[in-house]
Amino acid sequence: MDPEVLKQAPLFAELDDEAAGTLAAAMGTIKLNKGDVLFHEGDTEDRLYVVVSGKIKLGRSGSAGRENLLAVLGPGQMFGELSVFDPGPRSSTASAVTPCELRVLEHDELTQWLTGRPEVARGLLGQLASRLRRANENAADLVFSDVPGRVAKALLDLAKRFGDQRDEGIHVHHDLTQEELAQLVGASRETVNKALADFAARGWIRLEPRSVTLIDVERVERRAR
C-alpha cells in the first residue's frame, strides 16, 4: 500500500483498504524538481495526479505576461480531473514549487474504476463540488473584498494545509515568493506586500523568506471576513 497520504485524496476517500491498495498499485510515480512544469495550460493530456509530497502550483497566464495562481496544492490533493470529465485542453499550467512526488493514473484505468466502483466517482464528484464552491467564493472575494482581506484569507488557507502549530503561533512554510503570493491573491506585488507589512507591524504575523508565522490568528481571521 502507498503512503497514508494517498488515502486523503478524494479518489480514495470512499474505498476500503483492499480496493485502495489495488488502485494505488495501478498508479505510476512521477518525481519533479523545483520549477519543473508537469503540463501547460492548453495541453491535451488527460491523466489524473495526486500529490504525495511537495507543492504544486496551478497557474494561468493572462495578457501582457501576467500570471494568476488558481491554487497551490500539497500532499493528499488531486488535480487534472477537469480534462478527464470534460475532454479538452488543460485549464491551467501545473508546476513544482518544491521537489515533488506525484502518483499518476492513466485515463483508461480511471474510466474502468469509475464504471466498476461508484465510490470512486463519488469521491471525484465531491472534489468537483468543493472546487466550484471555492471558485465562486474567490470570484466573490475579487469583487467584494479588499486586498488585505484577500491576503488574510490566503494566509489562513495556506495555514490550514501547510501550517505547523508552534508556541508562538502557526508557522506556515508556504515556499512561495512574494510574486507568487501576489498571483494567488490576484493583486499586484506592491499592494500585497503593503498588506503583509501592515499585518506584521500590527503584530498579527511575522514574515520570513517563503514562510510566515501567524501570531494572532483571531485578528487575521477577523480581517479575512
**Under the rule (CB under 6 A), what is the footprint of ligand CMP?**
58, 70-71, 79-83, 90-92, 131, 135
- To ligand CMP, the closest distance from the beta carbon of 208 in angstroms equals 26
Least CB distance from residue 79 to ligand CMP, whole Å? 4
* CB nearer ligand CMP, residue 185 or residue 205: 185
CB of 201 to ligand CMP, least distance (A): 32
* Sequence-distant (≥ 6) Cβ neighbours of residue 133 within 8 angstroms: none
Q: Which is nearer to ligand CMP, 80 or 148 (CB)?
A: 80
**Of 124 and 205, CB closest to ligand CMP:** 124
Considering only CA atoms, which of 7, 9, 8 is closest in space to residue 21? 7
**210 DSSP 8-state letter:** T
How far apart are CB 168 and ligand CMP at their closest, in Å? 31
According to DSSP H, which parts of 31-146 are helical? 81-85, 107-116, 118-144
Whether 57 and 106 have beta carbons less than 8 Å apart is answered as: no
By beta-carbon proximity to ligand CMP, the closer residue of 103 and 171 is 103
State in angstroms the smallest separation of the CB of 25 from ligand CMP.
23
Instruction: Specify the residue, 131 or 210, whose C-beta has the smaller distance to ligand CMP.
Output: 131
Residue nearest to ligand CMP (CB): 83
- Please tell me what DSSP assigns to residue 147: H
Smallest CA-to-CA distance from 149 within 206, 222, 88, 94 is with 222
